[in-house]
Copies of this chain bind each other. A is one copy, B any other.
Amino acid sequence: MVSPAGRSRIRHNDALVAELSAVLGERVTTNQAVRERHGKDESFHAPHPPDVVAFAESTDEVRDIVLICGRHGAPVIPYGTGTSLEGHVAALEGGVCIDLSGMDRILRVGAEDMDVTVQAGVTRKRLNEHLRDTGLFFPIDPGADASIGGMTATRASGTNAVRYGTMRENVLGLTVVMADGRVVHTGGRARKSSAGYDLTRLMVGSEGTLGVITEITLRLYGIPEAISSAVCAFPTLLDATNTVIATIQAGVPVARMELLDALQMEACNRFSKLDYPVAPTIFFEFHGSPRGVEEQAETVKAIAGDFGGDDFRWSTSPEERNRLWQARHDAFYAALAMRPGAQGWPTDVCVPISRLAECIAETQEDLKSAPFPVPIVGHAGDGNFHLVYVIDPDSQSEVEAANAINERLVTRALAMGGTCTGEHGVGYGKAKFLTAEHGEAVSVMRAIKQALDPMNLMNPGKILPP
């Protein structure tokens, strides 16, 4: 396990628990199993249970919890579904985990304005179920059925970002409880505004380190008239990557364009009972009018053909499409199933699209010496790709090898003008790379953190390197 330099600022404090209980009643616990569950996410990084878990059901309750924590000097860690990937929910310095899953109300659907306001604990799948009859949907899809609060806090994106953007582009406004208990409303419902500092974008991706996000207004989209998916295998990963690059450069508004290497395809075939060729593959999805989808598909087919991708298998029925994308979403579990008893360490980087082929090729070369399987999966249309180190958690040498590969991966991406994480976030797993990526700008981030959270109580140890 990768261990943080954690220190607990608070262990058991009866006064703190009593004050929280006065507000929340039974919805406060120090039960060990509950604490352990709340200090752990889906990453490989060491979990750290909080001292207390508080289940909030309203912004006012979150404000009360934050005020109580402030008086006791206890850290505050927001928790949605625990599906983060860089140790975001680990209570590195102890403190109070605020579980927001009870804040699960959809507060307002603005069908005419194509927007919605939800509480932070609403998950993306529940939101889309709720929207079904409106003809609208929320496209951001990081795979896991994450909470909208968590997706906002980590600036999530996923398979649909090529066409619809990330949380950065799709959050219109927020309600946030700041470290001193101030409740602020950022942004608004107008599609654009030049009125003041963009606090919405500052909070999106701040991973709970600047405040607790309790309500989110999101942009919605009309469910496309026509949707069509296709799977296409390529002779080499380079051919597949070049198809992605050429498609983006041709300006085709493809909705999804997911790259899977041969190893990942083998894992997916086995796990999801599919029979695709074991070869570098792209999963495509096209959204639009019937004519538009046809036009996009024709263009992309021609491009793929230039790179040896001749075997387009179409999925036009919703059932087939769902099966395809479920398999894509299960890629992580499929990877794990390749090596029983192993644990997965997922990571991601993102580079300018012009460097994607080079970055993937060099990474592939580097992986040849890896002493464990490392499938590659990518939201390649954004220049974003993922590795999963499928390792034996008890083997120190494997953990060290994964660490070394990860360092080289990030160094490579940064050297190509990329970022250490396209969508997973920093948590505490990638904080050490922040200065290499942003240089002096980290000192500006630190000044903002200091101004808004002078006691460093909001999810301490995340994003900013120690």
Contact = CB atoms under 8 A, between A and B. Distances in A.
Nearest to A384: B192
Given A190-B383, A426-B195, A440-B182, A202 B202 contact: yes
Interface stretch (A67-75, A96-104, A443-451): A443-451
A182 B443 contact: yes
Interface string A195-207: 1111101101110
A295 to B, nearest CB: 6
Interface in A174-193: 178, 182-186, 188-193
A434 interface: yes
A401 interface: no
Interface stretch (A118-126, A155-163, A310-318, A325-333): A155-163
A273 interface: no
A440 B183 CA distance: 7
B202 A197 contact: yes
A256 interface: no
A198 B192 contact: no
A7 interface: no
Contacts of A426: 194-196
A10 B168 CA distance: 41
Contacts of A353: 112-113, 191
A291 interface: yes
Nearest to A154: B194
A350 B353 CA distance: 35
A442 interface: yes
A46 interface: no
A452 B444 contact: yes
Interface stretch (A33-41, A360-368, A412-420): A412-420
A457 to B, nearest CB: 16
A331 B206 CA distance: 42
A445 B203 CA distance: 12
Interface in A314-365: 350-354
A221 B251 CA distance: 8
A445 B197 contact: yes
A194 B422 contact: yes
B188 A444 contact: no
A447 B182 CA distance: 13
A466 interface: no
A249 B168 contact: no
A383 to B, nearest CB: 6
Interface in A411-466: 417-426, 430, 433-434, 437-445, 447-452, 463-464
A17 B353 CA distance: 47
A114 interface: yes
A334 B32 CA distance: 72
Given A354-B112, A438-B185, A156 B194 contact: yes
Contact of A195 (B190, B384, B420): B420
Contacts of A161: 192
A190 B443 contact: no
Contacts of A419: 188, 190, 192-195
B350 A192 contact: yes
A115 interface: yes
Contacts of A198: 155, 168, 198, 201-202, 204-205
Contacts of A423: 192, 194
A166 interface: yes
Contacts of A295: 289, 291-292
Contacts of A190: 350-352, 382-384, 417-419, 422
24 contacts: A112-B352, A112-B354, A156-B194, A157-B192, A184-B439, A184-B444, A189-B352, A190-B417, A190-B419, A192-B419, A192-B422, A193-B350, A193-B422, A195-B420, A196-B205, A196-B426, A196-B438, A196-B463, A197-B210, A198-B205, A291-B291, A292-B295, A447-B452, A450-B451
Given A182-B443, A197-B205, 17 more contacts: A168-B201, A184-B440, A184-B441, A191-B384, A193-B422, A195-B434, A195-B437, A196-B441, A196-B442, A197-B210, A197-B445, A197-B448, A197-B463, A198-B205, A199-B444, A202-B448, A222-B251
